[in-house]
A and B are shown apart, each in its own frame.
Chain A
Amino acid sequence: MSLANSTIATLRQRLLAKEISPRDIVTDVAKAIDTQNASIGAYLSWDLEKALKEADQADVSQPLGGIPIGIKDNMNVIGEPCTCGSRMLAENYTAPYDAGAIVKLRSAGAVPFGRLNMDEFAMGSSTENSALGVTRNPRDLERIPGGSSGGSAAAVAGNLAIATLGSDTGGSIRQPAALCGCVGLKPTYGRISRYGLVAFASSLDQIGPITKTVEDSAILLNHLCGKDARDSTSLDVSVPDFTSALGKDIKGLRIGLPKEYFISGIHAGVSAAVNAAIKKLEALGAIPVEISLPHTDVGVSTYYIIAPAEASANLARFDGVRYGHRSAAAADLMEHYMMSREEGFGPEVKRRILLGTYVLSSGYYDAYYLKAQRARTLIRQDFEQAFEKVDVIVSPTSPTPAHKLGALKDNPLAAYLEDIFTIPVNLAGLPAISVPCGTALEDGKSLPVGLQIIGKPLDEMTLIRVADAFEKA
């Protein structure tokens, strides 16, 4: 069997037993990419020679020594492209430095290998907004892998990677993990440095692992977290050994079921799978408790004010001067800005820049942005009150299984509404994980369903404990 099908945990044992070498792993992953990437489209680029060189130098005694990790194409890895799925950065950008998360991975011995497709600048939930290629769901090639970290999830689900990094602004790690059938963890806001992650919405963005098992998620998380002086929002808090939460029972743990999340409109197969998952947690000794998150229905509206507002400011840096696409046709400076951006950005990015600029523009700031910030407080308070009664909250990750490619192409609003269960977590800065919980039948196909488990701030330990117990049961 190809080593590309393995988990980090298994490969680590085999590396330490000297049965295999880091070069063997990278070689097998590269073979899997060579044979399958043409149909799945998870990777935009990969540099085998560089990865082999790094694998040969890897110290396998380190905790991630010699393990190749695929990287979403919005994190800087020195000497590699960082396209963000955009024409803006596709032509002529080479990262001049390593992102904070990459520095951490390298210091644990991992080898960053391959650049993974994504919705342009992480804006989208299907990876169809990438300007650079289509990514397909390995479980059904006619369907989306989810997004925006669609390449990261598809690579893991299709065994084109051991594990990958994604980023999550409104569900972009958890939702593709759910739709492809793998494990995706968004840590507490501030756990992992955002330095070198190309910013979309700075108060919401967070890096996290996409893996085949909960165990691998805990292993990777151990080597991603920690204060980074270059990201002023990264938290100066101790990092526990997340693997110590594995293999524990969940007897007596209180599991919150938000009544606003179990509503009509959820795909029947998703509902059935999630209800069965809750029964399973109960059988493991957990106690279900009905809770209320009364501001759930304003989550999407709040997000689609705050995220575009922050994006419109963050993406102002793409001016065609210091990096990125520069229009050849401009006659003066204003035209240079307007045409470079018009030519470099794709439709969803323009839509969000326009929306963000509008809600921040003179006369509308109080009506939209300030109101959204107030709603954000209420959403966070909902969770605070709920967590007085429960230890974790569970829900579907996505209300539907993977759509067919193109299904929501001309209806951005409908696509936005699908983020209903993941968005509040980002607004409140909470950690959450999506674990596979069976399948839903659609058009005769069995499609993966994800169970979202939401935790208290900085309590990734309990998430991992519940997710691991669930996965092993």
Chain B
Amino acid sequence: MPSPQIDIHHIAKLSRLALSEEEAVQYQGQLNRILGHIDQLSTYQLDAEPSAHAMPIFDVIRPDIARPGFTQEEALSNAPRRAMDQFQIPKVME
């Protein structure tokens, strides 16, 4: 596994973080050092099956029956902005 230089601006955009230029420089250096360490994994013969979880539980389903959830008021209670009993976001269409 090579140690590529992170394109921090691209990753920040994917992460939805408006990093300052100062932060970008700092994180680029730190992440490259962390990845440099993580690259030790490439020196190992890793031929095991991948585990997503420690416990072998799969396909947990519940009965398809309606059950109580939040009321509209409860769901909206922490919204930073609301209008007409809905979440409000910046305009997306002209």
Pick the contact of A322 from B17, B34, B53, B78 — CB < 8 Å? Answer: B78
Pick the contact of A338 from B16, B37, B40 — CB < 8 Å? Answer: B16
Inter-subunit contact B53/A233 (CB<8 Å): yes
Inter-subunit contact B79/A302 (CB<8 Å): no
Inter-subunit contact B18/A339 (CB<8 Å): yes
Inter-subunit contact A304/B50 (CB<8 Å): no
| Contacting residues, chain A, for B16 (C-beta < 8 A) | 316, 319, 337-338, 341
Pick the contact of B34 from A233, A304, A376 — CB < 8 Å? Answer: A304
| Contacting residues, chain B, for A229 (C-beta < 8 A) | 62
The total of chain A residues at the interface (CB under 8 A) is 73
| Contacting residues, chain B, for A373 (C-beta < 8 A) | 50-52
Inter-subunit contact B54/A380 (CB<8 Å): yes
Inter-subunit contact B78/A355 (CB<8 Å): no
Q: Assuming the A-B contacts A190-B55, A322-B87, are A353 and B17 also in contact, with contact meaning beta carbons closer than 8 angstroms in the complex?
A: yes
Residues of A346-395 contacting chain B, CB below 8 A: 347, 350-351, 353-355, 357-358, 361, 367-368, 370-378, 380-381
| Contacting residues, chain B, for A361 (C-beta < 8 A) | 11, 14
Inter-subunit contact B89/A321 (CB<8 Å): yes
Chain B residue with the shortest CB-CB distance to A368: B38
| Contacting residues, chain B, for A295 (C-beta < 8 A) | 44
In the bound complex, CA of A412 to CA of B60 (Å): 37
A298 at the interface (CB under 8 A from B): yes
| Contacting residues, chain A, for B80 (C-beta < 8 A) | 92, 320-321, 323-326
B25 at the interface (CB under 8 A from A): no
| Contacting residues, chain A, for B90 (C-beta < 8 A) | 330-333, 335-336
Q: Assuming the A-B contacts A321-B79, A338-B16, are A374 and B40 also in contact, with contact meaning beta carbons closer than 8 angstroms in the complex?
A: no
Inter-subunit contact A427/B54 (CB<8 Å): yes
The total of chain B residues at the interface (CB under 8 A) is 51
In the bound complex, CA of A382 to CA of B66 (Å): 44
Residues of B34-68 contacting chain A, CB below 8 A: 34-35, 37-38, 40-42, 44, 46-55, 57, 60, 62
Inter-subunit contact A351/B46 (CB<8 Å): no
| Contacting residues, chain A, for B87 (C-beta < 8 A) | 321-322
A232 at the interface (CB under 8 A from B): yes
| Contacting residues, chain B, for A319 (C-beta < 8 A) | 16
Pick the contact of B30 from A203, A320, A412 — CB < 8 Å? Answer: A412
Residues of B10-37 contacting chain A, CB below 8 A: 11-19, 23, 27, 30-31, 33-35, 37
Q: What 9 pairs across the A-B complex have the smallest Cβ distances?
A: A429-B54, A373-B50, A326-B80, A323-B78, A377-B48, A338-B18, A232-B60, A342-B18, A374-B46
- A321-B80, A333-B89 given; 18 more Cβ-contact pairs under 8 Å: A96-B77, A233-B55, A233-B57, A235-B57, A301-B38, A304-B37, A305-B41, A316-B16, A322-B87, A335-B18, A336-B89, A338-B13, A353-B15, A368-B1, A368-B38, A374-B50, A376-B51, A413-B37
10 contacts between A and B (CB under 8 A): A96-B74, A203-B54, A233-B55, A298-B41, A324-B80, A326-B80, A355-B34, A368-B41, A373-B51, A457-B55
